[in-house]
Amino acid sequence: MKLENINRVYFIGIGGIGMSALARFFNMLGKAVAGYDKTPSRLSQSLEEEGISVHYEDQVDLIPAEFKEPGSTLIVYTPAIPSDHQEWNFFRKNNFVIYKRAQVLGFLTQEKKTIAVAGTHGKTTISTMIAYILKNTTIRCSAFLGGISKNFNSNLMLSKSSEFVVTEADEFDRSFLNLFPYIAVITAIDADHLDIYKNKKDIEGSFNLFAGQIKKKGYLIYKSGLPVEVPEHINEAYTYSLRGKSDFYAENIRIDGVNHHFNVVTPFGTINDLSLGSPGITNVENAVAAVAVASILKIHPETIKYSLNNFRGVVRRFDFHLKTEKVVYVDDYAHHPKEIEAFVNSIKEIYQTRKITGIFQPHLFSRTRDFIDEFAESLGLLDEIILLDIYPARENPIPGVTSELLFDKIKLKSKTYCEKKDLMNILSDRKFDVLLTMGAGDIDKFIEPITTMLKKRFKITEETT
């Protein structure tokens, strides 16, 4: 695939976080860009504001005429598209050049020094941290991110002069096997996507294939204790952890309000008095991984300290919407039991004496079925749970797999099950101290109405937040 031969790019599933970053990339290159997505979202609407044509019905007639010409039109699709999708089948039958999103990302990064962050948790935040650190150096980088960086207000960062590109390496559909990184980071290898992988061993094998694709004289950074096989051809491998017994780890961790301060011990010396602008103990561990990458690239410790202190996080990752003595509201993308456990425990560390209520929307029937006991246990860490229906995403319902089944397994006295349409009514007469929303579906559509409701109820003005 040669960029100079492409005039138009059409995306099937353009509203996805990875797809939208590619759409922005091609749009910034001056290519004609358009696409389809199932439902409107803030992300797809922002693409429209940037001049990209988007429609929301699967109809061939809605594809702009100039995109129906094979040859110089590239079609990019997400694996989540169903096989009976009309537009997808139109392009297939008419000999268009068609690639998966992951393949296109592989093409765009193959000649670069790619820093790829893989793992079942943490990869979005870590890759965004790395990109922000590099932005504050003469190295700079381009970045394709799995979330909206609050520092960039985008999931894309472009640098025409830099040889480095930072990207999230997604294990879904084995997408990350399209990448051949200079530096690879592996954060976690937990069982997930069991609709794609046979079992945890299969997942571990795929991560080790990814590690094996690190370029010669490249680097591997992985969380201590993971079953990672270090390739013989790479330059060096390092481990990291939150605390001790690793090449990179944090020490003297302390908390001031909601933010952490700490040192990072590295093989090259200790970086003292780091402050993290994004809250949560999980983000301290994420920062250690980012520091490991920065250290390999010989970035000055003062630049690392400045960057982490001014790092504002990622939308929907430990995302505060209200932070007052009266009420706290935090939203997070957590959709796996391990992520929920880490998020809730981080909140409990900050707000040790306050009641914590969580609203959770399960994501995928298969994930709910495969981890139902683990979900019940992690959600049981809350003081109160409000459980919504399962968000199906790309799946059809699985007989017998329902939110009610999960609800019955949660060992909390204070628990409520409700449908999405009833959520705001249920919230209207509840008392809240610390409120959380969690999930990877469309629960983010409630962020604004919940924030507005809480501000009105607690008489919160901009000056008091």
Predicted confidence (pLDDT) per residue in 145-197, tens digit: 999 999 999 999 999 899 999 999 999 889 999 999 999 999 999 988 877 88
Q: Tell whether 332 is covered by a domain.
A: yes
Same-domain check for residues 213 and 325: no
Same-domain check for residues 91 and 127: no
Same-domain check for residues 73 and 175: no
SS3 content of the chain, % helix, strand, coil (to 5): 35, 25, 40
Same-domain check for residues 306 and 329: no
Same-domain check for residues 208 and 306: yes
Domain of residue 441: give its range. Answer: 319-464
Kindly state the average pLDDT of the residues 337-362.
97
CA distance 110 to 4: 16
Q: Tell whether 105 is covered by a domain.
A: no
More confident position, 79 or 225: 225
In this predicted model, what pLDDT tens digit does every residue of 427-442 receive, in sequence order? 998 999 999 999 999 9
How many beta carbons lie within 10 A of that of residue 449, not counting itself? 12
Grade residue 5 by pLDDT with cuts at 50, 70 and 90. confident
Contacts of residue 160, defined as CB under 8 A and 6 or more positions apart, other chains included, come to: none
Question: What does the mean pLDDT of the chain come to?
Answer: 95
Q: Tell whether 247 is covered by a domain.
A: yes
Q: Tell whether 149 is covered by a domain.
A: yes
The residue type of 5 is N
Helix (H, G, I), strand (E, B) or coil at 98: strand
Same-domain check for residues 136 and 191: yes
Same-domain check for residues 349 and 415: yes
Same-domain check for residues 248 and 171: yes
Q: Tell whether 328 is covered by a domain.
A: yes
Same-domain check for residues 401 and 274: no
- End residue of a domain, out of 278, 310, 342: 310
Q: What pLDDT is stored for residue 281 in this prediction?
A: 95
- End residue of a domain, out of 291, 310, 329: 310
Q: What pLDDT is stored for residue 21 in this prediction?
A: 97
Q: What pLDDT is stored for residue 266 in this prediction?
A: 98
Residue of 372, 376, 402, 405 whose CA lies nearest to 389: 402
**Residue 219 in this model has a pLDDT that exceeds 70:** yes
Grade residue 304 by pLDDT with cuts at 50, 70 and 90. very high
**Residue 465 in this model has a pLDDT that exceeds 80:** no
Count, in order, helices (H) and strands (E) of the chain: 14, 21
> Residue 61 is part of a domain; what is its CATH number?
3.40.50.720
Q: Tell whether 203 is covered by a domain.
A: yes
Kindly state the average pLDDT of the residues 4-30.
94
Q: What pLDDT is stored for residue 80 in this prediction?
A: 81
Number of residues assigned to the chain: 465
Tokens 């409520």 belong to residue: 416
* Total number of domains constituting the chain: 3
Q: Tell whether 248 is covered by a domain.
A: yes
In this predicted model, what pLDDT tens digit does every residue of 60-96 receive, in sequence order? 999 999 999 888 899 999 988 888 999 999 999 999 9
Bridge-based pairing state of the strands 319-323 and 73-77: unpaired
How many beta carbons lie within 10 A of that of residue 440, not counting itself? 20
**Residue 463 in this model has a pLDDT that exceeds 70:** no
CA distance 116 to 322: 33
Q: What pLDDT is stored for residue 464 in this prediction?
A: 53
> Residue 227 is part of a domain; what is its CATH number?
3.40.1190.10
Grade residue 443 by pLDDT with cuts at 50, 70 and 90. very high
User: Are the CB atoms for 438 and 358 separated by under 8 Å?
Assistant: yes
Name beta bridge partners: 185.
117, 221
Q: What pLDDT is stored for residue 1 in this prediction?
A: 63
Q: Tell whether 152 is covered by a domain.
A: yes
Same-domain check for residues 441 and 396: yes
Q: What pLDDT is stored for residue 299 in this prediction?
A: 98
Burial of 399 (C-beta count, 10 Å sphere; 0-12/13-18/19+): exposed
Same-domain check for residues 388 and 280: no
User: Are the CB atoms for 264 and 291 separated by under 8 Å?
Assistant: yes
Supply the pTM of this predicted model: 0.94
Dump the DSSP string for 292-338: HHHHHTT--HHHHHHHHHH---BTTSSEEEEE-SS-EEEEE---SHH
**Token pair belonging to 125:** 């935040």
Same-domain check for residues 325 and 303: no
- End residue of a domain, out of 263, 285, 310: 310
Name beta bridge partners: 262.
274
In this predicted model, what pLDDT tens digit does every residue of 194-209 receive, in sequence order? 778 889 999 999 999 9
In this predicted model, what pLDDT tens digit does every residue of 103-141 receive, in sequence order? 999 999 999 999 999 999 999 999 999 999 999 999 999
Give just the sign of the alpha carbon dihedral 186, 188, 190, 192.
negative
More confident position, 353 or 70: 353
